[in-house]
Amino acid sequence: MRIELLTGAFASLKRSIDSGTETQRDAVKSIIEEVRQKGDAALFAFTEKFDGVSLSDLKVTEAETQAAYQELDPETADIIREAAANIRSYHEKQKRESWMTYKEDGTMLGQKITPLDAAGVYVPGGTAAYPSSVLMNVIPAQAAGVKRIVLVSPPNKEGTLPAGVLVAAKELGVEEIYKAGGAQAIAALAYGTETIRPVDKITGPGNIYVALAKREVFGDVAIDMIAGPSEIVVLADNTAVPGEVAADLLSQAEHDALASSVLVTDSMELAEAVSSEVKKQLETLPRREIASASIEDYGCIYVADSIDEAVEAVNELAPEHLEILTENPMELVGSIRHAGAIFLGRYSSEPVGDYFAGPNHVLPTNGTARFSSPLSVDDFIKKTSIISYSEKAFAQSAEKIAAFARLEGLEAHARAIEERLK
Amino acid sequence: MRIELLTGAFASLKRSIDSGTETQRDAVKSIIEEVRQKGDAALFAFTEKFDGVSLSDLKVTEAETQAAYQELDPETADIIREAAANIRSYHEKQKRESWMTYKEDGTMLGQKITPLDAAGVYVPGGTAAYPSSVLMNVIPAQAAGVKRIVLVSPPNKEGTLPAGVLVAAKELGVEEIYKAGGAQAIAALAYGTETIRPVDKITGPGNIYVALAKREVFGDVAIDMIAGPSEIVVLADNTAVPGEVAADLLSQAEHDALASSVLVTDSMELAEAVSSEVKKQLETLPRREIASASIEDYGCIYVADSIDEAVEAVNELAPEHLEILTENPMELVGSIRHAGAIFLGRYSSEPVGDYFAGPNHVLPTNGTARFSSPLSVDDFIKKTSIISYSEKAFAQSAEKIAAFARLEGLEAHARAIEERLK
């Protein structure tokens, strides 16, 4: 039994990543080329063109940061500090050690963990400030041990960055903050300019131009995932509170008209109550236009015959965010094979994780939780295999290794081994 | 002082990934489309066209596997078995556990590790057999706990796969082996056909069509890296044996005319001796045409003033394979920031790691060791954040979280929190 009480179709929830138009892709390529050729001059020109402000310096000064502290009320700075501490505590637990194994014959095999040299973080501009983007991208890099972290963000018409962003960056000790946005900022991070030295990996969300530029420089530098629209799935039984479920669905819907909010439940009573609560709560939302469009196109309530069937529906969707609002939510964690983040119980409303709890809010969207993970310390390290064979171990294996090489038709490989046996 | 004794230029070693020609890219797109539309029928047709054999079944049968055991001599099967055991032992050590932290206020935060549902491995065909590709791609997936592993490889003109490949697969317990190659096999793994169900991640090397197809399906499924030509850097002092260094350089050079072999040393004497040894050993190599071209274009000997300067040169190159042939090789490991795999001392010739020692031979090429890692168990798992807030913890943080949401202009996020305070 599948009953769709909201109008979005369950089957339509898997959406393609926005690859942009031909015009957008060409624009991005030419912006990147221009930055590679002209460096800072290109950044200044594009900033004037796209952000409507003529800058004389790219780098944010200490005076600007101090002004941001004056602007932001102290309570907000405290909240940012507390959120940062929670996020740091969680990510520190993801750290891994290099290891080595020692065999009696003298062979040593291991894996060395090394942080990236430099990471670049893109923080979107626009109408709102995103200090949470600063925290969620910078802290994993710091926990990994990345020494050089570069933050870029498009300036507003006054040529400054939002106070919340600057305070968050300062609290984390980020030294290099540049006023540059769009594809031009991504190009600068990837290839460098006179002012901005290149980095090894670029993370952080952005508009279609930023996403296309990241895809374009991918390979020359590493990037995080190309994020699709945000999604939430709430898995609930009749113990869930309809008003809370509805509010959580709407918190995703307000992000983007393409965002998707789904309730999967075994209770028709809950389904009907949530459906009417969604409509009621929508009415007074400031971003109700966006949220209505999202609910209409990508909102869905699926009533399953059992919790087991509901769990299978969740695994089919592989959601970015999953809330479990059942009598014993922890019991179901083992059966969830695909989800970016799982929020358990009514006090783990999804926004708790967006800003504050500690886990990362950069999560796999669009069903990619089947094979992708939240942004983590692992994204800012690389591994190196260590192989040290002893003379004794070599002598025991040399002929076998040479035979294997010849089986694959690679004579010089066999001879490199045999050269040691002379 | 930089002295280039072989003719390749040090500066020319960073090469772009082969993006194929427009014609190749279009061909790949249309092959993928054809497989998506026609399924198995398209696979049969492309196999006839590209591999020159008309198949009636895609799946390798038990009888074919038994015939492979008859064909392969038992000693070779033993070597494959021993290599598999070594590789399994190394990769088992990469396994990670889910974890959970518990706070006194009742909050629980954790990270759940889940294997991918299904992985597909491409094993190249052509003139040689690549059982090592089977071992190096399948074993990490198995160690991660992936239940369904699918192997694809192009059949020869007789419609079979090389005995070494079938024996390696059987030894690992791979049940699904299909005779399909090229872009069509990648399309089948990504989107499925009547016979081949889709997978979540595709790994394994292949020709330009395979590489372009992997890039094309990337996003709908995960892929491993797009590998460039193979590289070795040997970091050596005057304690190294010139004939061994030369043989190791040539073992890379024989792979591919684009492969790169570099010696970095502080000893002019070693440099000159290796240079003449390379020329001597080249003469009798069966694949000397390929190796000569590689050495000519991408072979290089760099003589540094000191070992410190030599180490910096290595970090600049970020090689796929690094051999350290100095008096105390282990001492230098800490100073190497970028390398796919490090081979220490004269008994750790690079081919030791290609087949036998245990670490993976799928390694980051073309300078991407700056930000990429060897294929590992991590490539076959994904992480899920777990967030469980208690009522007490929620009450203490609710107002702060709501304030943070409003700072970012997201009212519905704030209301989702406040709905719980009613």
Q: What is the pLDDT of residues B71-80, one digit of tens each?
A: 999 999 999 9
> Is A76 domain-assigned?
yes
Q: Are residues B270 and B397 in the same domain?
A: no
Q: For residue A369, is it within any domain? A: no
Domain stop point among A331, A357, A383: A357
- Let me know if B321 is a catalytic residue: yes
Residues 42-71 of A with CB under 8 A from B: none
pLDDT mean over B34-63: 97
CA gap B404, B398 in Å, rounded: 10
- Lowest-confidence range among A12-26, A291-305, B334-348? A12-26
Residues A212 and A262 in one domain: no
Domain's final residue, options B223, B246, B264: B223
- Asked whether residue A77 falls in the same domain as residue A150, the answer is yes
Cα B232 to Cα A113, B240, B269, B314, distances in angstroms: 20, 16, 21, 10
Contact between B96 and B114 under an 8 Å Cβ cutoff? The reply is: no
Helix axes A62-71, A163-172, angle to 10 degrees: 120
Mean pLDDT computed over A372-401: 96
Does A75 lie at the interface with B, CB-CB under 8 angstroms? yes
DSSP codes of every residue in B53-85: ---S-SBPPHHHHHHHHHHS-HHHHHHHHHHHH
B274 neighbors B245 (Cβ within 8 angstroms)? yes
Same domain, B211 and B346: no
Q: Round the average pLDDT of chain B to a whole number and report it.
A: 93
- List pLDDT tens digits, range A256-291: 888 999 999 999 999 999 999 999 999 999 999 999
Q: Is the pLDDT of residue B311 over 80?
A: yes
On whether any CB of chain A is under 8 Å from the CB of B345, the answer is yes
Q: Could you give the CA distance from residue B187 to residue B301 in angstroms, rounded to a whole number?
A: 42
Q: Which domain holds residue B393?
A: 389-419
What's the mean pLDDT in B367-395? 96
Task: Give the contacts of B11 (CB within 8 A, at least 6 positions apart).
Answer: none
Residue A9 pLDDT class (50, 70, 90 cuts)? low
- For B101, the token pair is 């932290």
The yes-or-no verdict on residue B5 having pLDDT over 60 is no
Query: Does residue B372 form part of some domain?
Result: no
pLDDT in tens, A98-150: 999 999 999 999 999 999 999 999 999 876 778 999 999 999 999 999 999 99
Is residue A143 domain-shared with residue A248, that is, in the same domain?
no
Taking the CA of residue B410 as centre, how many other CA atoms within 13 Å lie in the half-sphere pointing to its CB?
26
SS3 state of residue B234: strand
Percentage of residues in chain A having pLDDT higher than 90: 86
B91-111 mean pLDDT: 96
* Measured distance CA(A277)–CA(B323) in Å, rounded: 65
Q: What pLDDT is stored for residue A52 in this prediction?
A: 95
Q: What is the pLDDT of residues B405-418, one digit of tens each?
A: 998 889 999 999 99
Residues 194-233 of A with CB under 8 A from B: 200-201, 219, 221-222, 226
* B312 within some domain: yes
User: In the structure encoding, which two tokens stand for residue B152, read together?
Assistant: 């694809």
**What span, in angstroms and rounded, lies between the C-alpha atoms of B375 and A50?**
41
Same-domain check for residues A80 and A219 = yes
pLDDT score of A2 = 44
**Residue at B388: amino acid letter:** S
Domains: count for chain B: 3
Chain A CB within 8 Å of residue B400 CB: yes
Would the pLDDT of B4 be above 80? no
Domain CATH code at residue B182: 3.40.50.1980
In a domain, B365, yes or no: no
Judge if A139 and A257 occupy the same domain: no
Q: Is residue B378 part of a domain?
A: no
pLDDT at B12: 54
Closest among B205, B197, B180, B328 to B255, alpha carbons compared: B205
- Give which of B349, B329, B167 is closest to B252, Cα–Cα: B349
Q: Which residues of B touch A416 (CB under 8 A)?
A: 244, 247-248, 250-251, 349-351
Residues 293-312 of B with CB under 8 A from A: none
- Mark yes or no for CB contact A415/B374 under 8 Å: no
One domain for residues B64 and B205: yes
pLDDT of residue B2: 43
Adjacent-strand bridge partners of B303: B265
Minimal Cα distance from A277: which residue of B? B419
Among A127-136, A355-364, A377-386, the range scoring the smallest mean pLDDT is: A127-136
Residue A34 located in a structural domain: yes
Q: How confident is the model at residue A1, as a pLDDT?
A: 34
CB B232 within 8 A of CB B321: yes
Buried-exposed string A385-420: b where 16+ CB fall within 10 A, e elsewhere: bbbbbbeebbeebbebbbbbbebbebbbbbbbbbbb
CA-based nearest residue to A5, from A238, A272, A313? A272
Helix (H), strand (E) at residue B86: helix B74-92
Q: Is the separation of the CB atoms in A81 and A131 below 8 Å?
A: no
- Residue A415: per-residue pLDDT: 96
Tokens of B325: 């042939």
The model's confidence at residue A12, banded by pLDDT at 50, 70 and 90, is low
d(CA A250, CA A323): 13
From B209, B198, B220, select the one nearest B30 (Cα to Cα): B209
Confidence (pLDDT) at A190: 97
Q: Is the pLDDT of residue B394 over 80?
A: yes
DSSP B155: -
B356 touches chain A (CB under 8 A): yes
Instruction: Please indicate whether residue A225 or residue A378 has the higher confidence score (pLDDT).
Output: A378
Give the CA distances from residue A305 to residues A264, A268, A312, in Å, rounded to whole numbers and listed in that order. 11, 10, 11
Q: Which of A225-229, A256-260, B242-246 tops mean pLDDT?
A: B242-246
User: Are residues B203 and B270 located together in one domain of the fold?
Assistant: no
| Whether residue A178 has pLDDT greater than 60 | yes
Select from A180, A199, A223 the last residue of a domain. Answer: A223
Asked if residue B369 belongs to a domain, the reply is: no
Q: What residues of A are in contact with residue B286 (Cβ under 8 Å)?
A: 411
Q: Same domain, yes or no, for B278 and B400?
A: no
In this structure, are residues A342 and B112 in contact, taking their beta carbons and an 8 Å threshold? yes
Q: What is the DSSP string of B87-117?
A: HHHHHHTT----EEEE-TTS-EEEEEEEE-S
A248 and A185 share one domain: no
Distance from CA of A301 to the nearest CA of B (A): 18
> What average pLDDT does range A153-169 have in this prediction?
95
A265 and A127 belong to one structural domain = no
- Mean pLDDT to the nearest integer, B170-187: 97
Radius of gyration of chain B (CA): 25
Structure-token match 């909102």, residue found: A299
In tens, the pLDDT along A32-45 reads 999 999 999 999 99
pLDDT at B130: 87
Stretch B40-62: mean pLDDT, rounded?
97
B91 is catalytic: no
Contact A383, B379 (CB under 8 A): no
Nearest-Cα distance to chain B for A260, in Å, is: 14
> Cβ neighbours of residue B23 under 8 Å, at least 6 residues apart?
none
pLDDT at position A4 is 54
Bridging pattern class, strands A321-325 and A341-344: parallel
Considering only CA atoms, which of A406, A391, A105 is closest in space to residue B349?
A391
